[in-house]
Amino acid sequence: MNKKSFLFTDIAGIKMKNPVMVASGTFGYGEEYKELIDLDKLGAIVTKTITLKPRAGNPPPRIVETAAGMLNAVGLQNVGLDVFLKEKLPGLKKITSTPVIVSVGGESILEYVKITEALNKTGTIAGIELNISCPNIRFQKKNTKLKGGIIFSQDEKITYKLVSRVRKATKLPLIVKLSPNVTDITLIARAAEKAGADVLSLINTPLGMAVDVTTRKPALANITGGLSGPAIKPIALRMVWEVTNTVKIPVIAMGGIMNTTDALEFFMVKAAAVAVGVGNFINPQTPLEIVEGIADYLKRHRIKRLKDLSLLKGR
Amino acid sequence: MNKKSFLFTDIAGIKMKNPVMVASGTFGYGEEYKELIDLDKLGAIVTKTITLKPRAGNPPPRIVETAAGMLNAVGLQNVGLDVFLKEKLPGLKKITSTPVIVSVGGESILEYVKITEALNKTGTIAGIELNISCPNIRFQKKNTKLKGGIIFSQDEKITYKLVSRVRKATKLPLIVKLSPNVTDITLIARAAEKAGADVLSLINTPLGMAVDVTTRKPALANITGGLSGPAIKPIALRMVWEVTNTVKIPVIAMGGIMNTTDALEFFMVKAAAVAVGVGNFINPQTPLEIVEGIADYLKRHRIKRLKDLSLLKGR
Amino acid sequence: MYQIKAKIIANRRITSRYYNLVIDAPQIAKFAKPGQFVNVCVSKGNEPFLRKPFSIYRIGPQNVRKKSKIELLYKVVGKGTDILTGNKTGDYINIIGPLGNGFVLPPKTNQKQQSEIILIGGGIGVVPLLFLAECLKNNRSLGVSVLVGIKSKEESFLIRDFNKLDCRVKVATEDGSNGFKGLVTKLLKEELGFGRSSSVCMSYTCGPSLMLEKVSKIAEKNKVPCQVCLEEYMACGIGACLGCAVKVKNGHFPGFKYVRVCKEGPVFDSRQVIWGE
Amino acid sequence: MYQIKAKIIANRRITSRYYNLVIDAPQIAKFAKPGQFVNVCVSKGNEPFLRKPFSIYRIGPQNVRKKSKIELLYKVVGKGTDILTGNKTGDYINIIGPLGNGFVLPPKTNQKQQSEIILIGGGIGVVPLLFLAECLKNNRSLGVSVLVGIKSKEESFLIRDFNKLDCRVKVATEDGSNGFKGLVTKLLKEELGFGRSSSVCMSYTCGPSLMLEKVSKIAEKNKVPCQVCLEEYMACGIGACLGCAVKVKNGHFPGFKYVRVCKEGPVFDSRQVIWGE
Ligand SMILES: Cc1cc2nc3c(=O)[nH]c(=O)nc-3n(C[C@H](O)[C@H](O)[C@H](O)COP(=O)(O)OP(=O)(O)OC[C@H]3O[C@@H](n4cnc5c(N)ncnc54)[C@H](O)[C@@H]3O)c2cc1C
Ligand SMILES: Cc1cc2nc3c(=O)[nH]c(=O)nc-3n(C[C@H](O)[C@H](O)[C@H](O)COP(=O)(O)OP(=O)(O)OC[C@H]3O[C@@H](n4cnc5c(N)ncnc54)[C@H](O)[C@@H]3O)c2cc1C
Ligand SMILES: Cc1cc2nc3c(=O)[nH]c(=O)nc-3n(C[C@H](O)[C@H](O)[C@H](O)COP(=O)(O)O)c2cc1C
Ligand SMILES: Cc1cc2nc3c(=O)[nH]c(=O)nc-3n(C[C@H](O)[C@H](O)[C@H](O)COP(=O)(O)O)c2cc1C
Ligand code: FES
Ligand code: FES
């Protein structure tokens, strides 16, 4: 590898030339960015979440700006497993050698298992990310009054069950992506770890809402949506810190990472890698600038490995 | 009342000349602002949370800026019940006729009850707000691994028990302030309602964290702190919307309200009143400007009452 | 598609609410087609958070082979466009473009009776139509009629450049202070009435979505093909976020699918669009 | 305490990192005491989010009874101070002040041997000391010595105004490019050594907290009272948020309590402060 090989990162067998990934849903199927950045320089690409069948997604408006962030209610629009396997995945593999991690969504445990089995056969993907934290796919549970049910990873037991089943179905590195919309994220993180997850990734979007006071309507047709951007960074950092202090498996951190400083904050709370989300929309160069920035920081501070970057003790 | 009396708001017997309050912990004991704004023009003043004994609070640094917001870990520093009753409350009552709501905190249910009983006797306060959502007072619960335990209002059953006990101890209007750090805020809201709360107030601060990458230390001595400001407004709006669609009792809304538009958004999701928090720090005129702004908006749109301001149906 | 830090040549105030921004962006100028847009980073921080999309108004310099400048025309409506007004000659601005699919030019034809083109613009919606009109005028010898709907005569500058191109221009103002008093759709109805529509081979429209819907219906009724240029809230502008969806016919889903305004659009065949959903 | 939209008289660049801001604020100028500060709203939006506190450097115009201007001297260290540099003469800025308790002036005395005062400033920490020096010089006939520690001679402008006041000024630079090479605390040690401290009735200091701690220790050892001007991250600046706490002795809690730098401070008796916690 090149002169920056001290950034080389192996997470549960996913070998990345650097620890800077792009987050699911913010990078399409990869090819959308090919004219703007050198995909080969990314640590890994996580695809838009795919489901068994194609999903139409939510009606517009689907996005709206908020203070230092945005809300989205895309509704997991995606081409579905078949088209993904036939067109999108081969297309992406053709244009880059960067590890591809496929984000998987579903409405039932069985659906997750089916997609996983199909992905096993591709032979070209580096890992699977289970999106069990999408605010747009809800699971009906008896004792909740939440409109539309709960998100899988809002429940410890469902998380355990879902991850266990998928674990049995694959030998691929298994990443589990968690929702921040929970009372205690360490409980969910432990459940996923116990069930056999190789890696955790967090955070998905906190649920939010905005109102357009001129029309007196919710700004999003779906009423609520997921919040992302710098606004959520403090919440993400706190949760990553809580989780890395709780589990032994590596954590991929995301939530408002827009530049090197943001990324460093997450490494200092012991993230194994970081992912850029909406940062890609604002400046497609963000992940590559962060790679450079981290390399620089480590050199300037004579730090040999990312691991040695954690918080210093005392005040 | 004056020409703006159409803003008059009665919440569970708390009679306010307008529905714009100031949030606990952001307005000291009221007198701090007396040279800057006319306290008499506020809807209500909620005092800094008091506890039975004085509390020293957390070591500095206690605050830090974040994107469109700030983190605080004041640690509920307060003068304690005795000094509050002897000095702070009479002092505040002397300088304003605006209703005073006393925010009450504690480390045990008994402590809440004791403070409540003492407040019953004052005869000068308009209501009690139970702060069962302070990230700085934690309750040890068996099945949680959260550092330092959980916040009272993170648990449905504890919320119910605590509010029931305090309810029995007072006839004063009882406001219960909820934490956003929960999986399902409607469950907690219902528990408080069932237990006899007259009013709910939300949101208290989501837990967050920031790292200073130059010192490689957490920005706050306490490591984590509560996030406030415009960054959290989408989360607050979503939760207020969820709760007003669930309970019958009125809701006082807060979280990132900096101007009239922000306040209107909350009224449109059926808040009965709003409270300005960190907005007071940025511009002490904020609550009064919002009062003017709402009056204006209602007039311009020929809306007679705040109640008629809710979201319009359809898209 | 390029992301460039481009130099600002000029940022002229036209009226208190309209500005003309000229940017040195040779790569974008070279490939841009009418109907395409650029996604502009307006702030240095998080306020506003997203890039803001703007149609290309014109490519310059005129009549020169080596085109190197793009021109935008923008209306100040909020924080982002307000910040944009602060840019000065010599400043740099980060833009991505050209984005989206532009208008499909009418098929080349020798039949005189089919060579009328109508452009219908509402307010700031004239922007992509000017670039289109230039291409139509420069590259082909077609009769181009432009119908423009504006609030009042203060916005008349919006038709100036069409006049210079020697288009046939008609104006409708809401208050009657310039041209016809009423909606531009009324002008369109007249234009296509009395069998005149048979000489019109294509119509192009851009403006508020209610206007677009009406224009589409009128065009369809008169059997004139119509290309509509849509707007939707955008985040990435390059097809990655799926934020800018609009509903169109004949999809995988029973009777519909969502497509991306930034990628499959912003120009659509009017008959494909499912309005108001 | 006033919140005012004040007009900017001047915002002069001194070096690339230091600016001098003169504001028309008669109400504040009238009541301000040395050591007090103002809390400045630097941004129009949320970036940066909080107001930023700055000590008062001087009240003007000089030697005129009707004082109406306040002067700040600030160092560009981040987003807020960077935005501040963009302010121009005639712009308005929202400030709250005067805030906090200023320095306590030394007791009036006729004893010649007690009339020495020492000010010890580190870098931008000289700001409140200049205002203090002016008051000491204008209102009393005391011997004022000023010891200033700066990085290098580029920061020498920080001592200029003390020289004009006819103070006895000594400089320490880290690189030796002006005055003594070393730390200002070394100068202080010399100043108070050899029994000279008995003629010093008061010392005042402001600067980085490690320096303040050292200065306090030296002063205490030599039995010279010392008033330290502290800094802490602030939100409200008026005592409401309890964000700016520092630990001091003799509180309700076993051996300590937290007090507000913005309200009980920013000036404290050095013997009260519990350092480093
Ligand atoms: C393809 C396309 C081409 C456009 N061409 C032009 C043009 O040539 N000239 C012109 O003046 N305007 C054009 N617009 C509209 C322009 O993008 C908005 O006016 C601008 O984004 C407003 O930003 P703001 O921060 O000033 O306003 P805000 O106060 O943020 O919003 C005002 C309104 O602008 C729209 N808007 C805001 N942000 C976005 C966004 N990120 N994406 C899309 N719409 C948004 C929304 O309808 C919103 O209600 C175009 C929009 C699109 C989608
Ligand atoms: C009582 C007092 C008086 C001061 N007087 C002066 C002065 O006369 N001249 C001068 O140049 N500076 C003075 N400062 C420091 C000044 O407030 C900071 O330099 C300024 O707030 C930095 O803001 P920023 O956005 O540029 O930097 P940031 O990048 O936000 O922060 C840089 C550093 O500035 C400090 N800081 C940031 N925000 C605050 C805040 N809200 N409150 C307190 N400190 C903060 C922190 O230490 C932070 O690490 C004073 C501070 C205090 C508390
Ligand atoms: C438009 C949009 C679409 C998203 N779609 C997905 C998705 O399909 N699957 C998923 O796991 N996360 C999705 N996310 C969440 C992001 O991957 C990421 O977890 C979140 O945005 C927080 O990071 P950020 O603040 O850096 O964007 C989406 C986010 C955005 C903004
Ligand atoms: C410095 C600070 C101190 C606070 N102290 C309290 C408190 O003592 N009791 C309480 O119930 N809420 C406290 N809060 C929370 C606020 O009342 C409010 O719920 C929260 O800040 C969200 O509103 P905002 O975003 O408008 O500030 C505090 C907030 C801040 C910023
Ligand atoms: S704006 Fe992102 S897909 Fe169109
Ligand atoms: S800054 Fe708020 S109490 Fe001092």
What tens digit of pLDDT does each residue of C154-206 get?
A: 999 999 999 988 888 999 999 989 889 889 999 898 888 877 777 888 999 99
Q: Which ligand is nearest to the CA of A134?
A: 3
Q: Known catalytic residues of A?
A: 134
Residue B75 falls within a domain, yes or no? no
Q: Which chains touch D (3 or more CB pairs under 8 A)?
A: B, C
CATH code assigned at A274: 3.20.20.70
Tell me, yes or no, if A63 comes closer than 8 A to chain B by beta carbon. Answer: no
Distance CA A255, CA A277 (A): 7
B196: left (phi over 0), alpha (psi -120 to 50) or beta: left
- Report the Cα A148 to chain-centroid distance in Å: 23
> Which residue in A282, A285, A289 has the most chain C C-beta atoms within 10 A of its own C-beta, making it the best mutation to test that interface?
A282
Partners of chain B (3+ Cβ pairs below 8 A): A, C, D
Residues of B in contact with C47 (CB under 8 A): 68
Residue bearing tokens 């987003």: D79
Pairing of strands B20-22, B14-16: unpaired
Q: In the prediction, which pLDDT does A148 show?
A: 60
C232 vs A contacts (CB less than 8 Å): 60-61
Nearest-CA distance from C275 to chain A in Å? Answer: 11
Please tell me which of the candidates B187, B216, B312 has its beta carbon nearest to residue A216.
B312
What is the DSSP pairing of strand A273-276 with strand A20-22? parallel
Which amino acid type is present at position B177? Answer: K
Tell me the shortest Cα–Cα distance from C83 to chain D, in angstroms.
12
pLDDT value of residue D109: 63
CB B224 within 8 A of CB B205: no
Q: Report which of C92, C90, C89, C80 is spatially closest to residue C54, judged by C-alpha positions.
A: C80
**Whole-number pLDDT of residue A86:** 96
The reported pLDDT for the residue numbered A188 is 96
Distance C253 CA to ligand 4 centre (A): 47
Given a contact cutoff of 8 angstroms between Cβ atoms, the answer to whether D7 and D90 are in contact is yes
Do domains C2-99 and C101-229 share one topology? The answer is no
Helix axes A109-120, A156-169, angle to 10 degrees: 30
- The confidence score (pLDDT) of residue C277 equals 76
pLDDT below 70 — which residues of chain B?
Answer: 1-4, 139-148, 315
Taking a C-beta distance cutoff of 8 angstroms, is the pair C204, C125 a contact? no
Residues 133-152 on A with a CB inside 8 Å of B are 143-147, 150
State if residue D52 touches ligand 2 by the CB under 6 angstroms criterion: yes
Residues of C in Cβ contact (< 8 Å) with B68: 46-47
Which candidate in C94, C241, C259 is best for mutational testing of the A interface (most A CBs within 10 A)?
C241
Name the CATH architecture for the domain at C2-99.
Beta Barrel (2.40)
Selected residue of D4, D27, D28, D46 to mutate for chain B interface (largest B Cβ count, 10 A): D46
Cβ within 8 Å of B, A 102-131? none
On chain A, the residues whose CB falls within 8 A of the CB of B312 are: 215-217
> A–B: how many Cβ contacts below 8 A?
166
Identify whether B15 is part of a domain: yes
**How big, in percent rounded to 5, are the helix, strand and coil portions of chain A?**
35, 20, 45
Taking residue A43's Cβ as centre, other Cβ atoms within 10 Å add up to 27
Residues C80/C85/C86/C90 CA torsion (nearest 10 deg): 120
For residue B70, the ligand 4 atom closest to its alpha carbon is 31
- CA B294 – CA C241 distance, rounded (Å): 36
Which residues in chain D come in under a pLDDT of 70?
62-65, 109-114, 139-141, 251
Catalytic residues of B: 134
Q: Is residue A294 within a helix (H) or strand (E), and if so which, with residue range?
A: helix A286-300
Mean pLDDT of chain A: 93
d(CA A245, CA A243): 5
Residue B134 lies in a domain: yes
Instruction: Chain A: list its partners (3+ Cβ pairs within 8 Å).
Output: B, C
Give the CATH number of domain D232-277; options: 1.10.760.10, 2.10.240.10, 2.40.50.100, 2.60.40.10.
2.10.240.10
Per-residue tokens: C122: 């509402």
Give me chain C's average pLDDT, please: 91
Q: Whose CA is nearest to atom 26 of ligand 3?
A: A277
Cross-chain residue pair D243–B33, CB shorter than 8 Å:
no
Ligand nearest to the CA of C75: 1
- pLDDT, one tens digit per residue, over A26-65 is 999 999 999 999 999 999 999 999 999 999 999 999 999 9
Q: What is the pLDDT of residue A265?
A: 98
CB contact under 8 A, D236 and B280: yes
Please give the pLDDT value at position C258: 95
- Measured from the CB, is residue D35 less than 6 Å from ligand 2? no
Contact call for A60 and C236, based on CB within 8 A: no
Q: Report pLDDT for B1.
A: 42
Neighbours of D94 (CB within 10 A): 17
Q: What is the pLDDT of residue B3?
A: 47
Instruction: Report yes or no on whether pTM surpasses 0.90.
Output: yes
User: Chain B neighbours among A 186-205 (CB < 8 Å)?
Assistant: 186-187, 190
In DSSP notation, chain B reads --TTGGG-EEETTEEESSSEEE-TTSSTTSGGGTTTS-GGGSSEEEPPPB-SS-B--PPSP-EEEETTEEEE-----B-HHHHIIIIIHHHHHHH--S-EEEEE--SSHHHHHHHHHHHHTTS--SEEEEE---TTS-B--TT---TT-B-GGG-HHHHHHHHHHHHHH--S-EEEE--S-SS-HHHHHHHHHHTT-SEEEE--PPEEE-EETTTTEESSTTSEEEEESGGGHHHHHHHHHHHHTT-SS-EEE-SS--SHHHHHHHHHTT-SEEEESTHHHH-TTHHHHHHHHHHHHHHHTT--SGGGGSPPS--
Q: How many CA atoms lie within 13 A of B288 on its CB side?
A: 10
Answer whether residue B257 is part of any domain. Answer: yes
Q: Is C256 on the interface with A (CB under 8 A)?
A: yes
| Whole-number Cα distances in Å, A249 to A52, A129, A252, A270, A271 | 28, 14, 10, 11, 10
Nearest-angstrom CA–CA distance, A282 and C256: 30
How distant is the Cα of C49 from the closest Cα of chain D, in angstroms? Answer: 12
Which chain B residue's Cα is nearest to D256? Answer: B56
Chain D residues touching residue C79 (CB < 8 angstroms): 45
**Domain assignment of residue B118, yes or no:** yes
Domain ranges of chain C: 2-99, 101-229, 232-277
Distance from CA of C210 to the nearest CA of A (A): 15
Does the beta-carbon distance from D233 to B26 stay under 8 Å? Answer: no
What's the C233 CA to ligand 5 centre distance in angstroms?
A: 8
Burial of residue D221, with CB atoms counted within 10 A of its CB: 0-12 exposed, 13-18 middle, 19 or more buried:
exposed
Ligand nearest the Cα of residue B277 is 4
CB spacing of A146 vs B186 below 8 angstroms: yes
Residue range A152-185, pLDDT digits in tens? 889 999 999 999 999 999 999 999 999 999 999 9
- Please work out whether the CB of residue A218 comes within 6 Å of at least one atom of ligand 3: no
Q: Does residue A287 form part of some domain? A: yes
- The reported pLDDT for the residue numbered C138 is 75
Q: What is the pLDDT of residue A3?
A: 46
Which domain covers residue A196, as residue numbers? Answer: 5-54+84-203+229-309
Q: Name the CATH topology of C101-229.
A: Rossmann fold (3.40.50)
Domain total in chain A: 1
pLDDT at position D197 is 77
Q: Tell me if chain B has a CB within 8 Å of the CB of C44.
A: no
Cβ neighbours of D269 (radius 10 Å): 14
Distance A229 CA to ligand 3 centre (A): 10
Min Cα distance A266 → chain C (Å) is: 20
